[in-house]
């Protein structure tokens, strides 16, 4: 977590964490002021031919009174950085998918890839 986006404090680190695929996974830590939360996943099981992977369906951040602070109505936002080295990473597929992504609420996206060839 960070108060300024420059200095970061680790609030949870469990190399043996084994979350549920079907139920909410709770991560608890001492309350602290924060402006940003950075989630890094590592060491997950392989998923088909794609290798190690994980995804987030929802993130809630609660204050000590139980209020969810991670709501757009409270001014929260999301920035996502991900990497995918599987199939369908070509400009034609991305052009085809853009209208669907826009309808889902995306207003901009950055797609950069080199087709697996040195970049």
In DSSP notation, 37-55 reads ------SPPB-GGG-B---
83/100 Cα distance (integer angstroms): 20
The 10s digit of each residue's pLDDT in 23-77 is 888 888 888 888 898 888 777 777 776 667 777 778 889 988 999 998 888 888 8
Together in a domain, 57 and 108: no
Together in a domain, 98 and 78: no
pLDDT confidence of residue 83: 59
Together in a domain, 23 and 4: yes
Taking CA 40 as the corner, what is the angle to CA 111 and CA 87, rounded to the nearest 5 degrees? 35
70/61 Cα distance (integer angstroms): 5
Together in a domain, 107 and 77: no
Together in a domain, 11 and 69: yes
Together in a domain, 48 and 94: no
Per-residue confidence band for 6, with pLDDT thresholds at 50, 70 and 90: very high
Total of domains in the chain: 2
Together in a domain, 6 and 25: yes
Per-residue confidence band for 84, with pLDDT thresholds at 50, 70 and 90: low
Instruction: Extract long-range pairs of 85-91: CB within 8 Å, 24+ residues apart.
Output: 85/50, 85/51, 85/116, 86/49, 86/50, 89/113, 89/115, 90/115
- Which sign, positive or negative, has the C-alpha torsion 72, 80, 37, 68? positive
Quote the mean pLDDT of the chain: 77
Range of the domain at 62: 1-82
Together in a domain, 53 and 93: no
């Amino acid at each position: 977590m960070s108060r300024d986006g420059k200095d970061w404090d680790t609030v949870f680190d469990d190399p043996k964490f084994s979350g549920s695929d079907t139920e909410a996974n709770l991560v608890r830590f001492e309350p602290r002021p924060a402006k940003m939360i950075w989630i890094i996943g590592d060491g997950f099981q392989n998923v088909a031919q794609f290798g190690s992977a994980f995804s987030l369906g929802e993130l809630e951040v609660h204050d000590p009174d139980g209020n969810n602070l991670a709501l757009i109505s409270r001014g929260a936002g999301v920035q996502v950085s991900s990497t995918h080295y599987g199939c369908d990473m070509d400009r034609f597929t991305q052009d085809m998918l853009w209208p669907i992504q826009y309808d889902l609420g995306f207003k901009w996206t950055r797609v950069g890839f080199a087709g697996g060839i040195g970049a």
